[in-house]
Structure 1
Amino acid sequence: MTAWDWLSTVSKGLMYLAMLTTVGGLFVAFYYPQLWLWRRYLIPASLVGLVSVCLYFLVQIGQVNQGGLAGMLDLQMGQILATTVLGDGMRWRISGFMLILLSGLAMLLADSSTRFARLATPGFVLGIAGVLALAMSLAVLGHVNTLDLTARLAVMLHFMAVSLWAGALLPLLVACRSFDANSSLQTQSLHRTLLQFSHAGWFFLSLMLLSGIVMMVYLLDELSELSGSQYGRLLMLKIGLVLVMMLAGAFNKFLLLSRWQSSGPGEVTRKLQGVITAEIGLVLLVVAVTSVMTTLIGPGR
Structure 2
Amino acid sequence: MLLVAGVALGASAAPAFAHAALESTVPVQGALLEESPPLIDLRFSEPISVSAESVRIIAASGETVKTVPPTGVPGSPGIMRQRVPVLDNGTYVVTWRIVSADAHPVRGAFTFSVGEVSSGGAGKNIANDFLSGGTTHRSVDIAYAVVRGLVYLAMAILIGGLFASIFVWRQALEHKRVRRLLWASWSALLSLTVVAFGLQGSYAAGANLSGMFDPSLWSNTWSTRIGTVLSIRILLVLALLPSMLLIKKPERKGWWAPLTVVLLIGIAMTPGLGGHASVGSQSWIAMFADAIHVLAMSAWMGGLILLVVLATSGHTEEALESMPIWSRVATLSVLLVTLTGVARGYRELGGLSDILGSTYGRLLSLKVGLVLVALLLATLARDAVQRRWELDPEELAAADEEREALLSAGEKPPKRRGHSLVPDETGVSALTYVLPEATARRRLLRSVFAEVSILVFVIGVTAVLVNTAPAQSAQSGPWAATLEVGKLLADVNVSPARTGANEVHLTLNAPGGGPAQVLDVAVEFSLPSADIAPIDVEMRSAGIAHYTSVGFTPPVAGDWTMTLKVLVDPITEESATATVPSR
Q: Shorter-chain-normalised TM-score: which range?
A: 0.7 to 0.9
Of residues 275, 287, 291 in structure 1, which corresponds to 2:459?
A: 287
Q: Is the 8 A contact 1:43 1:105 kept in 2?
A: no
Deviations 1:221-268 (A, max 9, x none): 212211211111111111111111111111111135523555565554
Partner of 1:252: 381
Q: 2:471 aligns to what SS in structure 1? A: coil
2:289 equivalent to 1:154: yes
2:344 equivalent to 1:209: no
Once the two structures are TM-superposed, the CA of residue 297 in structure 1 deviates from its matched residue by 4.9
Q: Is the 8 A contact 1:27 1:164 kept in 2?
A: yes
Please list every run of 5 or more consecutive structure 1 residues that lacks an aligned counterpart in the other structure: 112-116, 182-186
Matches within 5 A, 1:46-125: 46-109=186-249, 111=250, 117-119=251-253, 121-125=254-258
Cα distance change of structure 1 residues 68 and 220 upon mapping to structure 2, 3 Å threshold = closer
- TM-score, normalized by length of structure 2? 0.47
CA distance in 1, matches of 2:252, 2:209: 47
Cα distance change of structure 1 residues 92 and 37 upon mapping to structure 2, 3 Å threshold = farther
CA distance in 2, matches of 1:294, 1:97: 22
Read off the aligned partner of 2:349 and give its amino acid letter. L
Read off the aligned partner of 1:277 and give its amino acid letter. F
Once the two structures are TM-superposed, the CA of residue 139 in structure 1 deviates from its matched residue by 2.5
> Which of structures 1 and 2 has the larger relative contact order (alpha carbons within 8 angstroms, sep 6+)?
1
Q: Is the 8 A contact 1:13 1:288 kept in 2?
A: yes
Read off the aligned partner of 1:123 and give its amino acid letter. W
Q: 1:259 aligns to what SS in structure 2? A: coil
CA distance in 2, matches of 1:92, 1:299: 29
Partner of 1:114: none
Once the two structures are TM-superposed, the CA of residue 68 in structure 1 deviates from its matched residue by 3.6
Once the two structures are TM-superposed, the CA of residue 149 in structure 1 deviates from its matched residue by 0.9
Read off the aligned partner of 1:52 and give its amino acid letter. L
Once the two structures are TM-superposed, the CA of residue 270 in structure 1 deviates from its matched residue by 3.6
Q: How many residues align?
A: 288
Read off the aligned partner of 2:263 and give its amino acid letter. G
Deviations 1:98-154 (A, max 9, x none): 344432322322x1xxxxx252x2221232122211122122111111132111111
Q: Is the 8 A contact 1:43 1:104 kept in 2?
A: yes
Q: Which moved more, 1:13-22 or 1:61-70?
A: 61-70
Q: 2:352 aligns to what SS in structure 1? A: coil
Deviations 1:18-37 (A, max 9, x none): 11111111122222223225
Cα distance change of structure 1 residues 122 and 166 upon mapping to structure 2, 3 Å threshold = same
Percent same amino acid at aligned positions?
Answer: 27
CA distance in 2, matches of 1:281, 1:38: 19
Cα distance change of structure 1 residues 118 and 8 upon mapping to structure 2, 3 Å threshold = closer
CA distance in 2, matches of 1:168, 1:296: 29
Q: Is the 8 A contact 2:348 2:470 kept in 1?
A: no
Partner of 1:7: 143
Q: Is the 8 A contact 2:246 2:252 kept in 1?
A: no
Q: Is the 8 A contact 1:257 1:268 kept in 2?
A: no
Read off the aligned partner of 1:175 and give its amino acid letter. L
Q: 1:223 aligns to what SS in structure 2? A: coil
Once the two structures are TM-superposed, the CA of residue 289 in structure 1 deviates from its matched residue by 0.8
**Higher normalized helix content (fraction of residues):** 1
Show structure 1 runs of 4+ deviating over 6 A.
none
CA distance in 2, matches of 1:238, 1:70: 32
Q: 1:168 aligns to what SS in structure 2? A: helix
Once the two structures are TM-superposed, the CA of residue 216 in structure 1 deviates from its matched residue by 1.5
Q: 2:259 aligns to what SS in structure 1? A: helix
Deviations 1:195-243 (A, max 9, x none): 2111111111111111112212211121221121111111111111111
Q: Is the 8 A contact 2:384 2:441 kept in 1?
A: no
Q: Is the 8 A contact 2:178 2:310 kept in 1?
A: no
Q: Which moved more, 1:90-99 or 1:278-287?
A: 90-99
Read off the aligned partner of 1:125 and give its amino acid letter. P
Please list every run of 5 or more consecutive structure 2 residues that lacks an aligned counterpart in the other structure: 1-133, 390-395, 401-434, 475-583
Partner of 2:114: none
Once the two structures are TM-superposed, the CA of residue 64 in structure 1 deviates from its matched residue by 3.5
Partner of 1:200: 329
Q: Is the 8 A contact 1:37 1:171 kept in 2?
A: no
Q: Is the 8 A contact 1:241 1:286 kept in 2?
A: yes
Q: Is the 8 A contact 1:176 1:269 kept in 2?
A: no
Read off the aligned partner of 1:141 and give its amino acid letter. G
Partner of 2:129: none
2:146 equivalent to 1:29: no
Q: Is the 8 A contact 1:99 1:129 kept in 2?
A: no
Q: 2:246 aligns to what SS in structure 1? A: helix
CA RMSD of aligned residues (A): 2.1
Q: 1:167 aligns to what SS in structure 2? A: helix
Partner of 1:132: 265
2:236 equivalent to 1:236: no
CA distance in 2, matches of 1:163, 1:245: 14
Cα distance change of structure 1 residues 162 and 230 upon mapping to structure 2, 3 Å threshold = same
Q: 2:247 aligns to what SS in structure 1? A: helix
CA distance in 1, matches of 2:239, 2:191: 15
Cα distance change of structure 1 residues 223 and 87 upon mapping to structure 2, 3 Å threshold = same
Q: 2:248 aligns to what SS in structure 1? A: helix
**Higher normalized strand content (fraction of residues):** 2
Read off the aligned partner of 1:137 and give its amino acid letter. T
Cα distance change of structure 1 residues 265 and 99 upon mapping to structure 2, 3 Å threshold = farther
Q: 1:178 aligns to what SS in structure 2? A: coil
